[in-house]
Amino acid sequence: MPIPMNLINLLGCADSLPQAWQSSIMGRVGGANIKVLRMDDMAYPAETHDYAEALLVLEGQMRLSVDDALVEVGAGQLYLVPAGLPHAVAPGSQGTLVIID
């Protein structure tokens, strides 16, 4: 049976990316981008957006710094970042992350 074109293997797509924190847009839903990336035990600097974003850890763990607090987001967990909230990813974050923004 052929695989439908709208079936996306997120883990496979993340594995094929050339480097950590280089996201690839997998599609759009309701105006939001769905992106996948690898964290590879690397930090990501603080950023702020004028839109909310959802951070879904597919595998591994993300160490998210929000308001001077460290939030551990594990596999299968989703963190909702409100618009305007500065956030950064701390060292020690590894695995596959889906960003919906």
Interval 6-65: pLDDT, tens: 889 999 999 999 999 999 999 999 999 999 999 999 999 999 999 999 999 999 999 999
Helix %, strand %, coil % of the chain (to 5): 5, 50, 45
pLDDT of residue 76: 97
Longest alpha-carbon distance in the chain: 50
**Statement: the pTM of the whole predicted model exceeds 0.85:** yes
Which DSSP state fits 93?
Answer: -
> For the residues 55-80, what does the mean pLDDT come to?
96
